[in-house]
Amino acid sequence: MNLKSERRGIHVDQSELLCKKGCGYYGNPAWQGFCSKCWREEYHKARQKQIQEDWELAERLQREEEEAYASSQSTQGAQSLTFSKFEEKKTNEKTRKVTTVKKFFTASSRAGAKKAEIQEAKAPSPSIHRQASIETDRVSKEFIEFIRTYQKPGQDIYKQCKLFLDTMSHKRDLSIEEQSECAQDFYQNVADRLQTRWKVPPEKVEKAMDEVEKYIMTRQYKYVFCPETTDDEKKDLAVQKRIRALHWVTPQMLCVPVSEEIPEVSDMVVKAITDIIEMDSKRVPRDKLACITKCSKHIFNAIKITKNEPASADDFLPTLIYIVLKGNPPRLQSNIQYITRFCNPSRLMTGEDGYYFTNLCCAVAFIEKLDAQSLNLSQEDFDRFMTGQTSPKKQESDSFSPDVCLGVKQMCKSLDLLSQLNERQERIVSEAKKLEKDLIDWTDGITKEVEDIVEKYPLEIKPKSQALAAIDSENVENDKLPPPLQPQVYAG
């Protein structure tokens, strides 16, 4: 089996990580393969189309109502009492239609109030609230100290941030997609103001945007991370259940080029798992991305130490899948969605952070769709492993730590070899019995065919005929025959 066939289910072409619109930025499965910029353009087009269709529907309903009203008026005549009642009914219906049309574009205040009641009912404990308040105060002080270095542009940044937070506090009833769009628009507007109005250098703009994201998302975290209006929590549970069901997957099945027998490599694997788990404890999207980046760099170091050469992209993705399976990070889908919705888009579209994040999304998508063909297993073995009926035998490197003595390792290796020989012997005996049965069945079949032919065409045995007499026995004139030739010897 060649390497290409082994990795046919894991290999991802690097071009598949880019935006499918061909703009050159990194795409994202959450954006249907588009980058942040192209996705917003597609989202705006779809939204405008939906708004237009809703208005056309509302206008059509209103025309139908007016036509029905005109028809009723012509048939009922000039009865004033009936007309007044119908006019009152028409006014009520129009009011109801206007309210219905408004509901197409604005969320219900009643739903917002109900959501607020639910959030109050599920408020965090006082200790967690105090911890969040302390962190928020610390971040606010750091942000104020930072913007002082920018002088007038810093004052403008702070004013824009306060205005954005006040606006978002009145938009809690919006959907999470609409809140995400507001945040992305805010990032873009602030960056444009710094570049065009205040002529801030690009490197200082990027640093300022990092601090802006840290300030506003620390305050917005409890409202926009895994909100109850989405199915993020349901997806988290589904991914965790899926990863638990795949606990039997070994590095060999994924073609992971990492040897955990090497102590330094084993430490790198542990650090990578720690980083991917630590991502859930961060509140700022940039800090969550930093955890993903640190995890990925540990993976590259582990591969480099094992292979004694730089790692490739084909080595990185299988190893990242293995780390996710082994670590089973908490609220994985919620963190991915949170980063996608509220991170500064420039970080997700370019740079190493965007590359590693895109690979993580691909790894999660692979885990969700993983099947027998991806692991080069038969469907029967895959089903048995998934149901827990059996599990693949682990290699010695998976079973023992480096501290175990050599004798115990050799003994277990011999026992494993004997077990394999026993299985092989049982398989040979089973195949031999099957061959014996096939031979008996073949012999019985041939015998039956011969008997059928003999019965159909019976053999008739004729009596033995008399032996022929000598050729000259009945010749009465033997004496007239010449004598037989006799050999003669001539003297030479």
Better-scored residue on pLDDT, 129 or 347? 347
Torsion of CA 217, 218, 224, 228, to 10 degrees: 170
Q: What is the pLDDT of residue 87?
A: 54
| pLDDT per position as a tens digit, 137-180 | 999 999 999 999 998 999 999 999 999 999 999 999 999 999 99
| pLDDT per position as a tens digit, 220-258 | 999 999 999 999 999 999 999 999 999 999 998 999 999
Q: Average the pLDDT over each of 51-60, 185-194, 345-354, 365-374 and give the range with the smallest value.
A: 51-60
Whether the per-residue pLDDT at 101 is higher than 60: the answer is no
Q: What is the pLDDT of residue 423?
A: 86
Helix or strand holding residue 204 (H, E): helix 202-224
As a whole number, mean pLDDT of residues 449-475 equals 73
* CA separation, residue 280 to residues 244, 247, 277, 492 (Å): 18, 21, 6, 124
How is 20-78 classified by DSSP, letter by letter?
TTSSSSB--GGGTT--HHHHHHHHHHHHHHHHHHHHHHHHHHHHHHHHHHHHHHHHHTT
Better-scored residue on pLDDT, 14 or 225? 225
Q: Average the pLDDT over each of 170-184, 273-287, 331-345, 472-486 and give the range with the smallest value.
A: 472-486
Highest mean pLDDT out of 61-65, 165-169, 488-492? 165-169
Better-scored residue on pLDDT, 125 or 444? 444
